[in-house]
Structure 1
Amino acid sequence: MKRILLILILVSNFSLGQKNERRLVWEENFNGNALDTLSWNFELGNGCPNVCGWGNNERQIYTKDNHELKDGFLIINTKKEASSYTSTRITTAQKKEFQYGRIEARAKVPTGKGIWPAFWMLGSNIKTVGWPKCGEIDILEYVGKEPSTVFTTLHTEDSHGNSVNSRKTTIVGIEEGFHLYAIDWSEEKIDFFVDNKLVYSFYPKEKNEKTWPFDQKFFILLNVAVGGNFGGPEVDDTIFPQQFSIDYIKVYQ
């Protein structure tokens, strides 16, 4: 009995030690009056001429004017203006890029048919190898046409678009208040969490460039799309304006 207790204590201490070894390497608390341009880039327009509709037949135009920093929150305002939808999309490309670790955001999603907020990552080599070969990690996707549902997805050369590496999780009340969305990413697998509850794990049996492009640095993106292949095709114009509120982003390694 004493031997069993000793083993349990040693295992517990080892696990605690592993957890304590991980440290906070970057955090964004959205303080101040403007986004930190040492960390963030804006992606503007409708994706044309290279990827019109941002590759998904999305309807929004991205601007620098559809966001605000208020009381320590980033708020992305998505609007219907005349015949256009406007929103904001920002990235940390070439400024804050990460390989492995826990990446998390505390956020409150917008709602309504046609809305499509996301907290996600792309491989830093996207400009040289293109998508989907660069890899994509969708930590949070929410579409207003499917309330009470969170989507967590990986796109690879082996499976992209309507990816098989995806999980739909029903969470009643996910639209209410703030929730924590995270991944724990290692050389072996990627685990997805909502409010610290494991909702999906990805660990292909065979790792190669087609199934596992996740052995390189990735950058972070935040945006709200309107309509498109995933968010639409129907958009309820009465829902606008909508707000995607992000409290913070943290990266532990």
Structure 2
Amino acid sequence: MIKQFVVIISLLTILSCEKEKESIVFFEDFDQEQLNLSNWNFELGNGCPNLCGWGNNERQVYTKENLKLQDGNLIITATKDSTGYYSSRITTKNKVEFKYGTVEVRAKLPQGHGLWPAIWMLGNDIDKIGWPACGEIDIMEYVGKTPHEIHTTLHTNESHGNSKNTNVQTIKTIEEGFHVYKVNWTKDDIKFYIDNNLVYTFSPTVKDKNTWPFDKPFYVILNLAIGGNFGGPEVDDSIFPQEFVIDYVKVFKDN
């Protein structure tokens, strides 16, 4: 009995030490009845008039109704009716922005040809200097037309759109249950992980405004697109509805 007590105390001590190594910047477990609008914004519509199709010829209209919180999860549902496609997109722009750190998201993917769920980040100066100058960090992108593949990508002035700064990881079980997608971002490099396995490191030899627009605050985006230049163009209308389920979003820095 004494030995078991000592083991328990030792485990608690280890866990406490691990927590002390982290400084939590932001943690959202979606354990409420409604989305916390102190942290999140809805982006609504089809992007028009300034960015129709959200810049990618996407088909969906973003609504508040296609998002709900249930059983401690954020659920974005892609739907279709006789008039079109619908989904949701939220951001932490102007509310939760940070420079460097680790972003960790536990999520379960939707499935079907034409779906394009994403966990990503944009530089907070996008309204001043535009895209891609602001920089983009794609922590996770999945397109249903190519099952089992996870894309992690950086977009910069030097390479954007079909960016060369990318990795495609094939995981046969990625559609099964929840998985953890993570990026560790420092002044020196940006590392991407899937289920704590390192899959890609970005660290250009020359770091200037064209190759490395990552020395400033960024914000988080969660969305489920339909069709578009990357997700489509074809969409399988028989798949709807489909859910993109996010368990939590955690941002922290190592002490």
Matches within 5 A, 1:151-190: 151-190=151-190
Please give the alpha-carbon distance, in whole angstroms, between the structure 2 residues aligned to 1:70 and 1:19.
27
Cα distance in 2 for residues equivalent to 1:218 and 1:147? 29
The answer to which of 21-30 and 42-51 deviates more is 21-30
Partner of 1:46, secondary structure, is coil
Structure 2 residues not aligned, in runs of 5+: 1-16
Give RMSD over aligned pairs.
1.2
Residue 138 of structure 2 aligns with which residue? 138
2:66 equivalent to 1:74: no
Deviation readout 1:22-44 (Å, 9 max, x if unpaired):
32221000011110010000000
**What are structure 1's unaligned runs of at least 5 residues?**
1-16
List aligned pairs for 1:184-203, cutoff 5 A: 184-203=184-203
Q: Distance in 2 between matches of 1:96 and 1:46?
A: 24
Structure 1 segments of 4 or more deviating over 6 A?
A: none
Deviations 1:171-195 (A, max 9, x none): 1110000000000000000000000
Structure 2 residue aligned with 1:26: 26
User: Aligned residue for 1:241?
Assistant: 241
Which residue does the alignment assign to 1:102? Answer: 102
Structure 2 letter corresponding to 1:201: T
How far off is 1:82 after superposition? 1.1
The sequence identity of aligned pairs, in percent, is 58
User: How many residues align structurally?
Assistant: 237
TM superposition shift of 1:18: 10
* Alpha carbons of structure 1 residues 18 and 106: separation in structure 2 relative to 1, 3 Å: closer
Cα distance in 2 for partners of 1:20, 1:121 equals: 26
Measured in 2, the distance between the counterparts of 1:142 and 1:152 equals 9
The separation in 2 between residues aligned to 1:143 and 1:83, in whole angstroms, is 23
Give the structure-2-normalised TM-score: 0.91
Distance 1:74 1:18 in 2: 27
Classify the secondary structure of the residue corresponding to 1:244. Answer: strand
**1:170-225: CA deviation from partner (whole Å, max 9, x where unpaired):** 01110000000000000000000000000000000000000000000000000000
Partner residue, 2:222: 222
Q: TM-score, normalised by structure 1?
A: 0.92
SS at match of 1:23: strand
Distance between the aligned counterparts of 1:106 and 1:21, measured in 2? 21
Deviations 1:43-97 (A, max 9, x none): 0000000010000000000001101100100000110111300000000000000
